[in-house]
């Protein structure tokens, strides 16, 4: 099987998926802008061939170049696990007459209005919503939806340009702030906690699933710089408090007729226990969440995903042994990292449970925490007990400090 994989070297999870494809016997053909000489050797070894295009996101040009390349390189299947490339993958499938998700189908996982419309039609619990392209449409949307509400891009990511609006006055301010966004969703604001429901599917069936808990809610994490946001992959998915979300997740996969690959859904659990849909992508979550899944069950979802999409089976053994958590750190102050404090004490205390410490070194320039959840570094840990996992995560959140100037 010759599998064309879009962007095999970026983001940082992609080489693992490319190697997963090679590990299950696929001939992997990479597609990207950069020469293979820029790739690490193990990724280069995983690629049987490579199509280097001039400008990947110039869709017309990329389509032309890939159609041309396909005259000499056989392509049987196209995979992409990176949000900005999902529609390109679908378009290429259509141009080359290959099976898999079409552009129309992919839009259900990309366009936040279409996805919610489809789920409304299936009778699932979705926030009330309106699509709006002009200030007046936003006002009308707010009228229909009621306050508090959320204004967010129809094709957003990472909580960018997402605003909570509590009254008409704030709405006017937000209208000014989202002027550069072509189309927005005006949505009922849902109170509660936020979780994920992630799957690997084949043949329309869920072969593996994961649920993670965001602490705090992503919009808050993105608004308050002093927080150390956590994603926590939960061990006990049979917990009654998760049942409604799990059912919603399964219903969404059915309603959107997802067949094969990774999905990443977000949902809200309201104070009354109701599960409300948030959004879904037909790709894995980013920011090392796939590693959290692997650490929670000691499995390899990179290979598991590859086996599912290439061979239509999932033979990894899923034993949920741990809760695993990642804690993202933001330095205090601007400029370069000057010192890191508290790490030794925390490591001495929690050593057996800490899997990874990856902080920017002293002297490095801070990352833009609004642009990347990865912020100035992260810690990954795991523990069989949820309470202990939360306590450790919170200790790293507060007692580990990075300072910049």
Binding residues for ligand ADP, rule: CB under 6 A, are 127, 150, 152, 156-160, 162, 187-190, 194, 217-219, 266, 278-279
Smallest separation (angstroms) from ligand ADP to the CB of 152: 5
Q: Return the one option of ligand ADP, Mg ion, none that residue 246 interacts with (CB less than 5 to 8 A, by type).
A: none
Q: Return the one option of Mg ion, ligand ADP, none that residue 189 interacts with (CB less than 5 to 8 A, by type).
A: ligand ADP
DSSP reduced 3-state for 384: coil
The residue (of 233 and 346) whose beta carbon lies closer to ligand ADP is 233
Q: Return the one option of ligand ADP, Mg ion, none that residue 219 interacts with (CB less than 5 to 8 A, by type).
A: ligand ADP
- Burial of residue 188 (CB within 10 Å: 0-12, 13-18, 19+) is middle
The residue (of 50 and 268) whose beta carbon lies closer to ligand ADP is 268
Distance of alpha carbon 249 from alpha carbon 252, whole angstroms:
5
The residue (of 189 and 350) whose beta carbon lies closer to ligand ADP is 189
Q: Return the one option of ligand ADP, Mg ion, none that residue 170 interacts with (CB less than 5 to 8 A, by type).
A: none
The residue (of 112 and 378) whose beta carbon lies closer to ligand ADP is 112
Smallest separation (angstroms) from Mg ion to the CB of 263: 13
Please list the helix, strand and coil fractions of the chain in percent, rounded to the nearest 5, in that order: 35, 25, 35
Token look-up 């429901």 returns 197
Smallest separation (angstroms) from Mg ion to the CB of 325: 18
Smallest separation (angstroms) from Mg ion to the CB of 21: 27
Q: What residues are paired with 40 via a beta bridge?
A: none
Smallest separation (angstroms) from ligand ADP to the CB of 155: 8
Q: Return the one option of ligand ADP, Mg ion, none that residue 162 interacts with (CB less than 5 to 8 A, by type).
A: ligand ADP
Q: Return the one option of ligand ADP, Mg ion, none that residue 168 interacts with (CB less than 5 to 8 A, by type).
A: none
Q: Please, what is the Cα angle at 213 between 212 and 217, to 5 degrees?
A: 135
Distance of alpha carbon 190 from alpha carbon 372, whole angstroms:
24
The residue (of 231 and 294) whose beta carbon lies closer to ligand ADP is 231
Distance of alpha carbon 150 from alpha carbon 166, whole angstroms:
9
Q: Return the one option of ligand ADP, Mg ion, none that residue 158 interacts with (CB less than 5 to 8 A, by type).
A: ligand ADP
Q: Please, what is the Cα angle at 117 between 113 and 119, to 5 degrees?
A: 120
Q: How many residues bind Mg ion (CB under 5 A)?
A: 1
Strand locations in 18-162 (E): 27-32, 47-52, 77-79, 129-132, 149-153
- Kind and range of the H or E element at 299? none
Strand locations in 66-210 (E): 77-79, 129-132, 149-153, 163-165, 184-188, 193-202, 205-210
The residue (of 46 and 86) whose beta carbon lies closer to ligand ADP is 86
The residue (of 55 and 177) whose beta carbon lies closer to ligand ADP is 177
- DSSP letter at 190 equals P
Interaction pattern, residues 238-277, with Mg ion; x per rule: CB under 5 A: ----------------------------x-----------
Smallest separation (angstroms) from ligand ADP to the CB of 151: 9
Nearest C-alpha neighbor of 263 from the set 216, 334, 207, 222? 207
The residue (of 76 and 279) whose beta carbon lies closer to ligand ADP is 279
The residue (of 96 and 155) whose beta carbon lies closer to Mg ion is 155
Q: Return the one option of ligand ADP, Mg ion, none that residue 152 interacts with (CB less than 5 to 8 A, by type).
A: ligand ADP
Q: Return the one option of ligand ADP, Mg ion, none that residue 389 interacts with (CB less than 5 to 8 A, by type).
A: none
- Contact between 399 and 345 (Cβ < 8 Å): yes
Token look-up 């936040």 returns 112
Q: What residues are paired with 377 via a beta bridge?
A: 359
Distance of alpha carbon 110 from alpha carbon 106, whole angstroms:
6
Nearest C-alpha neighbor of 392 from the set 405, 382, 378, 377? 382
Smallest separation (angstroms) from ligand ADP to the CB of 187: 4
Smallest separation (angstroms) from ligand ADP to the CB of 142: 13
Q: Return the one option of Mg ion, ligand ADP, none that residue 52 interacts with (CB less than 5 to 8 A, by type).
A: none
The residue (of 165 and 207) whose beta carbon lies closer to ligand ADP is 165
Smallest separation (angstroms) from ligand ADP to the CB of 371: 12
Distant-in-sequence, close-in-space partners of 323: CB < 8 Å, separation ≥ 6:
232, 233, 234, 235, 296, 382, 383, 384, 385, 386, 389
- Contact between 306 and 298 (Cβ < 8 Å): no
State the residues that interact with Mg ion by CB under 5 A.
Answer: 266
């Amino acid at each position: 099987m010759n599998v064309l994989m879009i962007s095999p070297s970026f983001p940082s999870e992609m080489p693992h998926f490319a190697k997963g494809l090679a590990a299950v016997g696929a001939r992997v053909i990479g597609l990207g802008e950069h020469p293979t000489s820029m790739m690490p050797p193990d990724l280069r070894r995983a690629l049987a061939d490579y199509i280097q295009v001039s400008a990947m996101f110039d869709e017309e040009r990329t389509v032309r170049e890939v159609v041309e390349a396909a005259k000499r390189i056989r392509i049987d299947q196209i995979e992409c696990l990176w949000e900005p490339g999902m529609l390109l993958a679908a378009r290429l499938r259509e141009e080359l007459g290959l099976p898999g998700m079409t552009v129309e189908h992919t839009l259900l996982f990309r366009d936040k209005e279409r996805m919610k419309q489809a789920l409304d039609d299936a009778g699932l619990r979705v926030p009330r919503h309106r699509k709006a392209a002009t200030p007046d449409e936003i006002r009308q949307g707010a009228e229909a939806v009621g306050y508090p509400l959320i204004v967010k891009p129809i094709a957003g990511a990472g909580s960018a340009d997402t605003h909570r609006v509590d009254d008409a006055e704030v709405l006017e301010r937000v209208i000014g702030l989202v002027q550069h966004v072509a189309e927005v969703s005006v949505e009922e604001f849902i109170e509660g906690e936020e979780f994920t429901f992630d799957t690997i599917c084949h043949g329309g069936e869920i072969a593996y699933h994961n649920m993670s808990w965001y602490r705090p809610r992503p919009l808050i994490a993105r608004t308050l710089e002093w927080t150390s946001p956590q994603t926590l992959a939960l061990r006990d998915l049979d917990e009654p408090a998760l049942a409604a979300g799990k059912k919603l997740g399964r219903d969404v996969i059915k309603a959107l007729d997802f067949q094969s690959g990774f999905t990443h859904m977000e949902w809200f659990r309201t104070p009354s226990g109701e599960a409300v849909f948030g959004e879904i992508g037909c790709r894995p979550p980013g920011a090392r969440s796939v590693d959290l899944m692997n650490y929670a069950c000691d499995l390899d979802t990179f290979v598991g995903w590859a086996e599912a999409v290439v061979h239509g089976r999932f033979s990894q053994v899923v034993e949920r042994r741990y809760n695993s958590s990642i804690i993202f750190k933001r330095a205090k102050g601007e400029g370069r990292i000057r010192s890191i404090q508290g790490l030794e004490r925390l490591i001495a205390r929690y050593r057996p449970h800490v899997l990874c410490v990856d902080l920017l070194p002293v002297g490095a320039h801070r990352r833009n925490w609004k642009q990347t959840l990865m912020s100035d570094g992260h810690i990954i840990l795991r523990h069989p007990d949820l309470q202990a996992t939360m306590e450790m995560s919170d200790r790293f959140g507060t007692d580990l400090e990075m300072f910049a100037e």
